Copies of this chain bind each other. A is one copy, B any other.
Amino acid sequence: MPVLGIDIGGTSIKGSLVNSLGECKENFVMPINPNLSQEETIEELLDVIDKYLQANLNGESLDGIGMGIPGSLDTEKGIVTFSNNLKWEDLKIVDLFKKRYKTPIKITNDANAAALGEARFGAGKEFKNMVMITLGTGVGSGIVIDGKLFEGYLGKGAELGHTTLVLDGLSCSCGRRGCFEMYASATALIRQTKEKMSICPDSLMHQISNELGKVDGRVAFMAAKKGDKAANEVVDQYVKYLSEGILNICNALRPECVVLSGGIAKEGSYLTDKVLNYCKLQDFGYPYSPSLVIKIAELGYQSGIVGAASLLL
């Protein structure tokens, strides 16, 4: 009685059958052809799925199809309202799927799907209330309350990356200023690293980035661990931004657990120890509050597929 989980990304679509334990079969992967219309892309996807199910369903019945999609959705009506990355607009994706498959079909935002996957089968599985923050190109977020995805009215909430942390701060692509995303994403850390490097020509960060061939989100952390002063300043400032955003999430939503994912989360306990230390010094605003639990995501790149399937598991 498996469910098909589909993770739609900017350049490819991945999917797998997922069983009730959150276990996947082998994935299918379909590159997105940018020359096709949105409807043609879905037709191609449906053909790929047909073949995948024929090869993998082994006579079992399909219990549903769940999809994680980047962009703004109307999850109730099953419509991709607008996806900036995919250039999809007003795409009635659930209706197109229903013409082919007589099974329950649900969609959610890709960050929400990943959060649900981690909540059910990954780092958050011991907790009923969990928030996942993805520190990547932007800051994605997903909120799970009482074991269920919380998406806000018409699926338009849970955009914690687009809450203002710095009034009148840096301009964000969303139209606001000073969004959490502008200070805590991997993109932001790279900007902060480059800024510090430009005024600290002797920093170890120059040597490390030369060896890596680029300045990425690892440079400041690598140099900081070796005692570089400028790098430690970058890391401490980044930890402050991230921690203030996490404290906001805690005071607003008070989850039992905050799960970090994305490139920066690979720093593991080196990062989470610093965040916990910062948050402790802030006393959380509420000395009687439960202790903050921060974990690193466990499912990796499969979280989107498992989470999309979890919409129907």
Interface residues in chain A, defined as those with a beta carbon under 8 Å from any beta carbon in chain B: 72, 81-82, 129, 145, 150-154, 156-160, 162-167, 169, 172, 174-176, 178-179, 241, 244, 247-248, 250-256, 282-290
Q: Do B153 and A251 touch (CB < 8 A)?
A: no
- Smallest CB gap from A141: residue in B: B252
Q: Do B290 and A154 touch (CB < 8 A)?
A: yes
Given A72-B286, A157-B251, A247-B176, A166–B167 Cβ distance below 8 Å?
Answer: yes
Q: Do A163 and B252 touch (CB < 8 A)?
A: yes
- Smallest CB gap from A151: residue in B: B254
CB distance from A281 to the nearest CB of B (A): 9
Contact sample, A vs B, 15 pairs, CB 8 Å cutoff: A72-B286, A72-B288, A81-B288, A82-B288, A154-B290, A157-B252, A157-B253, A158-B252, A163-B247, A163-B248, A163-B252, A164-B165, A164-B248, A175-B284, A176-B282
CB distance from A295 to the nearest CB of B (A): 15
- Smallest CB gap from A178: residue in B: B167
Given A82-B288, A164-B165, A288-B81, A283–B252 Cβ distance below 8 Å?
Answer: no
Q: Do B285 and A175 touch (CB < 8 A)?
A: yes
Chain B residues contacting A169 (CB-CB under 8 Å) are 167
Q: Do A153 and B129 touch (CB < 8 A)?
A: yes
Q: Do B282 and A175 touch (CB < 8 A)?
A: yes
Q: List 9 additional A-B contacts (Cβ < 8 Å) besides A159-B252, A163-B247.
A: A129-B152, A152-B252, A156-B289, A157-B250, A157-B252, A158-B254, A160-B252, A163-B248, A163-B252
CB distance from A176 to the nearest CB of B (A): 5
Q: In the assembly, how many copies of this chain are there?
A: 2
Q: Do B285 and A162 touch (CB < 8 A)?
A: yes
CB distance from A72 to the nearest CB of B (A): 5
8 interchain residue pairs of minimum CB distance = A152-B254, A157-B254, A174-B285, A163-B248, A81-B288, A175-B283, A159-B251, A162-B251
Q: Do A152 and B244 touch (CB < 8 A)?
A: no
Given A167-B166, A174-B285, A282-B176, A160–B251 Cβ distance below 8 Å?
Answer: yes
**A296 and B269 alpha carbons, distance in the complex (Å):** 46
**A151 and B162 alpha carbons, distance in the complex (Å):** 22
CB distance from A26 to the nearest CB of B (A): 36
Q: Do B157 and A72 touch (CB < 8 A)?
A: no
- A175, A178, A251, A288: which has the most chain B beta carbons within 10 Å? A251
**A81 and B159 alpha carbons, distance in the complex (Å):** 32
Q: Do A290 and B153 touch (CB < 8 A)?
A: yes
Chain B residues contacting A157 (CB-CB under 8 Å) are 250-254
Chain B residues contacting A179 (CB-CB under 8 Å) are 285
**A199 and B4 alpha carbons, distance in the complex (Å):** 65
CB distance from A156 to the nearest CB of B (A): 5
